[in-house]
Structure 1
Amino acid sequence: MSQFRSSDWFGKTGKMGFLYRSWMKNQGMPTDLFDGRPVIGICNTWSELTPCNAHLRDLAEAVKRGVYEAGGFPVEFPIMSLGETLLKPTAMLFRNLASMDAEESIRGNPIDGVVLLTGCDKTTPSTMMGAASVGLPTIVVPGGPMLNGKYRGTDIGSGTAVWKLTDDLKTGKITNDEYLAAESCMSRSAGHCMTMGTASTMACMVESLGMCLSQAAATPAVDSRKKVLAQLSGRRIVEMVKEGLTISKILTRDAFENAIKVNAAIGGSTNFIIHLTAIAGRVGVDLCLDDFDRLGSKIPLLLNLMPSGKYLMEDFYYAGGLPVILKELSQELAMDAITVTGKSHAENIKDEGICYNNEVIASYNNPIIPEAGIVVLKGNLAVNGAVIKPSAATPSLMQHTGKAVVFETIEDYHTRVDEPELDIDETCVMVLKNVGPVGYPGMPEVGNMVLPKKLLEKGITDMVRISDGRMSGTAYGTVVLHVSPESAIGGNLALVKNGDLIHLDVSARRIDLLVDEVELERRRLLWEKPAYHTDRGYVSMYQRHVQQADKGADLDFLVGNSGSVVTRDSH
Structure 2
Amino acid sequence: MKQENSLRSSNWFARGGKDGFIYRAWLKKQGIPSHELEGKPIIGICNTWSELTPCNSHFRELAEAVKRGVLEAGGYPLEFPVMSLGETLIKPTAMLYRNLVSMDVEESIRANPLDGVVLLCGCDKTTPALVMGACSVNIPTIVVSGGAMLTGRHRGHSIGTSDIWRFSEDVRAGRMSNEELAMAEAGMCRSDGHCAVMGTASTMACMVESLGLSLPQNAAIPAPDAARKVLSQLSGNEIVKMVCENRRLSDILTRESFENAIRVNAAIGGSTNFVIHLLAIAGRIGIELNLQDMDTFSANIPLIANLQPSGSYFMEDLYYAGGLPAVMNALLQHLHTDCMTANGKTIGANYADAVSYNKEVISTLEDPFNAVSGIVVLKGNICEDGAVIKPSAASPHLMQHTGKAVVFEDIDDYKKRIDDPALEVDENSILVLKNVGPKGYPGMPEVGNLGLPAKLLARGITDMVRISDGRMSGTGFGTVVLHVSPEAAAGGNLAIIQEGDVITLDVHQRRLYADITPEEIARRKAAWKPVYPQSTRGYVQLYQQHVEQAHLGADLDFLKGSSGSQVTRDSH
Superposed displacement of residue 298, structure 1: 2.4
Task: Give the partner amino acid of 1:48.
Answer: E
- Give the structure 1 partner of residue 207 of structure 2: 205
Pairing 1:439–2:458 present: no
Structure 2 stretches of 5 or more lacking a match?
Answer: none
- In the aligned structure 1, how far is the partner of 2:215 from the partner of 2:441? 37
Do 2:441 and 2:532's aligned partners in 1 also have CA atoms closer than 8 Å? no
- Give the structure 2 partner of residue 110 of structure 1: 113
- Give the structure 1 partner of residue 269 of structure 2: 267
> What's the % identity of the aligned pairs?
63
2:323 to 318, 321, 324: 321
TM superposition score normalised by structure 1: 0.99
Superposed displacement of residue 263, structure 1: 0.1
- Give the structure 2 partner of residue 515 of structure 1: 516
- Give the structure 2 partner of residue 6 of structure 1: 9
- In the aligned structure 2, how far is the partner of 1:414 from the partner of 1:529? 20
Q: Deviations over 1:18-53 (max 9, x none)?
A: 000000111111221122100000000000101000
Do 1:198 and 1:474's aligned partners in 2 also have CA atoms closer than 8 Å? yes
- Give the structure 1 partner of residue 218 of structure 2: 216
Do 2:267 and 2:374's aligned partners in 1 also have CA atoms closer than 8 Å? yes
**Against the structure 1 CA distance between its residues 531 and 357, is the aligned structure 2 distance closer, same or farther, given a 3 Å change threshold?**
closer
Do 1:532 and 1:540's aligned partners in 2 also have CA atoms closer than 8 Å? no
- Give the structure 1 partner of residue 343 of structure 2: 341
- Give the structure 2 partner of residue 226 of structure 1: 228
Superposed displacement of residue 370, structure 1: 1.7
Pairing 1:132–2:135 present: yes
Match of 2:539, SS? helix
Superposed displacement of residue 536, structure 1: 0.1
Superposed displacement of residue 493, structure 1: 0.4
Q: Deviations over 1:447-487 (max 9, x none)?
A: 00000110000000000000000000000000000000000
Match of 1:2, SS? helix
Superposed displacement of residue 350, structure 1: 3.5
Superposed displacement of residue 385, structure 1: 0.1
Q: Deviations over 1:357-409 (max 9, x none)?
A: 00001111101122311100000000100000000000000000000000000
Do 2:173 and 2:457's aligned partners in 1 also have CA atoms closer than 8 Å? yes
Q: Deviations over 1:287-317 (max 9, x none)?
A: 0111011111221000100000000000000
Higher mean C-alpha displacement, 173-182 vs 393-402: 173-182
- In the aligned structure 1, how far is the partner of 2:38 from the partner of 2:351? 37
Structural RMSD (CA)? 0.7
Do 2:440 and 2:532's aligned partners in 1 also have CA atoms closer than 8 Å? no
Residues 30-429 of structure 1 correspond to what in structure 2 (within 5 A)? 30-158=33-161, 160-351=162-353, 353-429=354-430
Superposed displacement of residue 174, structure 1: 1.6
- In the aligned structure 2, how far is the partner of 1:24 from the partner of 1:141? 26
- In the aligned structure 2, how far is the partner of 1:327 from the partner of 1:349? 5
- In the aligned structure 2, how far is the partner of 1:350 from the partner of 1:529? 54
Task: Give the partner amino acid of 1:77.
Answer: F
- In the aligned structure 2, how far is the partner of 1:8 from the partner of 1:513? 60
- In the aligned structure 2, how far is the partner of 1:520 from the partner of 1:543? 25
Task: Give the partner amino acid of 1:507.
Answer: H
- In the aligned structure 2, how far is the partner of 1:425 from the partner of 1:11? 72
Match of 1:27, SS? coil
- In the aligned structure 2, how far is the partner of 1:498 from the partner of 1:88? 30
- In the aligned structure 2, how far is the partner of 1:236 from the partner of 1:253? 24
- In the aligned structure 2, how far is the partner of 1:350 from the partner of 1:299? 19
Do 2:435 and 2:532's aligned partners in 1 also have CA atoms closer than 8 Å? no
Match of 1:296, SS? coil
- In the aligned structure 2, how far is the partner of 1:358 from the partner of 1:504? 34
- Give the structure 1 partner of residue 494 of structure 2: 493
Task: Give the partner amino acid of 1:140.
Answer: V
Aligned residues: 569
- In the aligned structure 2, how far is the partner of 1:244 from the partner of 1:133? 16
Do 1:2 and 1:37's aligned partners in 2 also have CA atoms closer than 8 Å? no
Task: Give the partner amino acid of 1:461.
Answer: T
**Against the structure 1 CA distance between its residues 531 and 430, is the aligned structure 2 distance closer, same or farther, given a 3 Å change threshold?**
closer
- In the aligned structure 2, how far is the partner of 1:372 from the partner of 1:340? 28
Q: Deviations over 1:318-373 (max 9, x none)?
A: 0000011111111100011000010001111234x111100001111101122311
- In the aligned structure 2, how far is the partner of 1:196 from the partner of 1:47? 23
Superposed displacement of residue 279, structure 1: 0.2
Superposed displacement of residue 221, structure 1: 0.4
- In the aligned structure 1, how far is the partner of 2:446 from the partner of 2:352? 39
